[in-house]
Copies of this chain bind each other. A is one copy, B any other.
Amino acid sequence: MDEFELYLRAHTHLDNGDMDQIRSLAIPKTLRRNEFLLHEGEICRYKIFISKGLLRTFGTAADGSEHILQFAPEHSWTLDVESYDRQQPARYNIAAIENSEVLLWPKADFDKLLATIPSLQSFAQQLISRNIYNSGRRILTALSATPEEKYQEFIHSSPDLLARLPLHMIAAYLGISIKTLTRIRQAQLRR
């Protein structure tokens, strides 16, 4: 039994038949560090499950700087929702931070699965809900927190990621400069 099945069993009550069906439509893919799975402007054709590794979703600003919307470690899902839903050009890029293994479901196939497996649908709903809750919090801290508070919140909520990410990506995720991040960390050492 592989990563994906273990994940499904842990988070759903899907029966074996359903699992097989879901699995049968997945396209496995290996990604090397820094390899892109989606470039902005392309259409996001797949729902993506990360079996191993770590991905990031990010947008590029006018000046070329990158801002990270989401980190997707193993056992999580990712995609450009807007592009995927409407099959229109993506706003964001998705790329691997570590060498990764992912499973891809073409939208048409996944839609079929959703239609035929009710408990998959409700599971998908849960994921969407969680996404919304997190977005709310993310917006609020982006608006109200100081760089230091943002960093604290990050290491508190994702200590695991902290160890795996280069600092400049954390900065790009928090919306602060690498310089500020370095300063914060220095200040903490001195305590």
Residues of A within 8 A of B (CB): 59, 61, 65, 67, 69, 81-82, 85, 91-92, 128-129, 131-133, 135-140, 142-145, 174-175
Apart from A59-B140, A128-B132, what are 19 other A-B pairs with CB-CB below 8 Å? A59-B144, A61-B145, A65-B144, A67-B140, A67-B144, A69-B136, A69-B140, A81-B129, A81-B136, A82-B133, A91-B137, A92-B136, A135-B135, A138-B139, A139-B142, A142-B142, A142-B175, A143-B175, A144-B175
Main secondary structure of the interface of A (DSSP, over half): helix
Q: Could you list 19 A-B pairs, sorted by A, with CB under 8 Å?
A: A59-B140, A61-B144, A61-B145, A67-B140, A67-B143, A69-B139, A69-B140, A81-B129, A81-B133, A82-B136, A91-B137, A128-B128, A128-B132, A131-B132, A132-B132, A135-B135, A142-B143, A143-B174, A143-B175
